[in-house]
Structure 1
Amino acid sequence: MKKIIYIIVIAFTFSVNAQEFKLSPYAQYLMESPFVISPAYAGVTDAHKLRISGVMQWLGVKNAPHTQVIAYDTRLNEKTGVGAILYNDSNGNTKQMGGQLSYAYHLTLEEADESYLSFGLSYKFNHFKIETGKFDDGQGVGQTDPYVGGDQTTSNHNFEFGSLYRYKRFFIAINASNILNKRLKIFDNTEPQKLRNYYAYAGYVFLSENDEWEYEPSLFFKYFESDGRNVTDVNFKARKLTDDGYYWAGINSRFINDQTFKPLSVTPLFGLKKDKLYLGLGYQLNVNESVQFGSYGTPMLVLGYDFDSGRYRTSWSSRK
């Protein structure tokens, strides 16, 4: 019985995160997939961009979370972009499926100075489920215990707003996600009603003198309004440009901001683009004792396909 109660508490903890209507980004946004963190990136290039990603969290831990995401965005005309995301997430006896539909509007502030401003809006939907019928305390009483009850499900809707400013090789994106408060307490009275979280993502791309290399330092910041939690990613990428694409390597370090000198995780990243095909690989290593759980880390994979480019005059490199 104690084990069942413990499982329920853990499941409810994940339910709060699930109701935030957006899966926490690992490092996929660095794998040429910034659309997954901001609707303002929808159609920012002139190509149809398809990205399929998978994350297997806490490798070596039984029933650990695993996530699959399909993202697509494209340019409709010189100023308008659209996109869609579908995801499936499983964490033991808790499961969620959801997605978002995005619209973006791109403005040219000063073409000579390469100054551009983009705005994006997303409608998001989420279905969350706790499969209590699969609870088991090792003695087979999980399915008949009257204190457990039946499966718990809920469906939710919300919105996200994002903006993106680009000046030459500098960029900054700012997001507000889960704009609407949650009115109902689905599971218990400890659930937060304010699900808003805020993102900021900024960086600069340096070009080598021989135009063969690009170096991109960047920062990603996330803040949760409900309890003040906040994290920062410190990133660096290097790209080797080729005639038919590029290949790159990078590093992502994630920090809980009240533990500045104790990174939560470190993620080496690798990828390549050849013609229309893209491949990205990452392996998140948990270096903070509080999140190791005896796991071997979190592998991630991104597969991509870019096609029908060159339809419109856009300022943004297709590798973004």
Structure 2
Amino acid sequence: GALLILGLSQAEVKAQQEPLYTQYMFNTVSVNPAYAGTRNAMNVLLLSRLQWAGLDGAPRTYNLTMHTPLNNYKMGLGFSIVKDTYGPVDNTYFNFNYAYRVNVSENMILSMGIKGGIYNYYVGLNDVFVQNGSDASFSGNYDKKLQPNAGMGLYLYSNKWYAGFSIPKLIQTDLSGDQMTTSNVSDLRRHYFVMAGYVFDLSSDLKFKPSFINKVVEGAPPSTDITGQFLYKNA
């Protein structure tokens, strides 16, 4: 079927946060591991997000995601590779997702998911042009730093609606080392996501699906994405 997307996104400050996606409805598994395998078919997705295109050091995010159902649709398995760059920061994330589903009622399913992986962080301060060459804050250069990651999520859904809660990064990461002096920039904080959506039947062929996702992270204002999709002859 065909679909038309309308979106509204609240402004957000990015200071060493998880990569930002506005079209989350197509990439829910990136923020909630419980979503893995819920589409009842293998899904492969390649996304790119270019902000302030044409400017040196502008934020760029690339994401390859795959997830599929297993064991007669009772389980889901997936993985994702994300490359997130902005300014001197160049981060790469590798994650695996696993989900197990139980029938709460005849038309309602609860999926419980976990994720684990490795985060590779790099900050190249020597690549930054500084007018005051004696500024000690830019005198060093971070080497790559590997950190483990673990996350969890819940996803309750039927053929008409869904609701979810997730913490995709449970392990808070301190990237400060000896050279970074601003902890708000060098800490990767724990993120909390809440999401929900509902499908309204406008006619036998046309449906409307409003949805939202809210993100809360310490040290930054809450972020909310509100999206509406028109689905035409969508099974």
What band does the TM-score fall into relative to the shorter chain?
0.7 to 0.9
1:135 corresponds to 2:128: yes
Is the 2:21–2:49 Cα contact (8 Å) retained in structure 1? no
Return the offset for 1:194.
Answer: 7.6
Equivalence for 1:221: 214
1:91 corresponds to 2:91: no
Structure 2 Cα separation of the partners of residues 126 and 134 of structure 1: 21
Is the 1:38–1:175 Cα contact (8 Å) retained in structure 2? yes
Return the offset for 1:150.
Answer: 3.8
Select the residue among 139, 156, 164 that pairs with 1:149.
Answer: 139
Return the offset for 1:159.
Answer: 1.3
Equivalence for 1:37: 31
Equivalence for 1:199: 193
Select the residue among 224, 232, 240 that pairs with 2:224.
Answer: 232
1:76 corresponds to 2:67: no
Return the offset for 1:228.
Answer: 5.9
Structure 1 Cα separation of the partners of residues 41 and 20 of structure 2: 26
Q: Counterparts in 2 of 1:1-320, with a 5 A limit?
A: 17=16, 20=17, 22-27=18-23, 29-30=24-25, 32-78=26-72, 79-111=74-106, 114-137=107-130, 147=136, 148-153=138-143, 154-182=145-173, 185-186=176-177, 187-188=180-181, 190-191=183-184, 195-210=189-204, 212-224=205-217, 226-227=218-219, 229-241=221-233
TM-score w.r.t. length of structure 1: 0.61
Structure 2 Cα separation of the partners of residues 136 and 176 of structure 1: 36
The structure-2 alpha-carbon separation of the partners of 1:110 and 1:185, relative to structure 1 and needing over 3 Å to count, comes to same
Q: Secondary structure, in 3 states, of the residue corresponding to 2:183?
A: coil
Q: Which amino acid aligns with 2:94?
A: G
The structure-2 alpha-carbon separation of the partners of 1:56 and 1:189, relative to structure 1 and needing over 3 Å to count, comes to closer
The structure-2 alpha-carbon separation of the partners of 1:49 and 1:184, relative to structure 1 and needing over 3 Å to count, comes to closer
The structure-2 alpha-carbon separation of the partners of 1:209 and 1:71, relative to structure 1 and needing over 3 Å to count, comes to same
The structure-2 alpha-carbon separation of the partners of 1:87 and 1:194, relative to structure 1 and needing over 3 Å to count, comes to closer
Is the 2:32–2:168 Cα contact (8 Å) retained in structure 1? no
Paired-residue identity, %: 21
Q: Secondary structure, in 3 states, of the residue corresponding to 2:34?
A: helix
- Considering only aligned residues, what root-mean-square deviation do their CA atoms show, in Å? 2.5
TM-score w.r.t. length of structure 2: 0.82
Is the 1:124–1:160 Cα contact (8 Å) retained in structure 2? no
Return the offset for 1:223.
Answer: 0.7
Q: Secondary structure, in 3 states, of the residue corresponding to 1:152?
A: coil
Return the offset for 1:184.
Answer: 6.8
For CA contacts below 8 A with separation 6 or more, give which structure has more relative contact order. Answer: 2
Pick the structure with greater CA Rg. Answer: 1
Mark the runs of 5 or more structure 1 residues left unpaired by the alignment. 1-12, 247-316
Return the offset for 1:146.
Answer: 8.2
Return the offset for 1:193.
Answer: 6.0
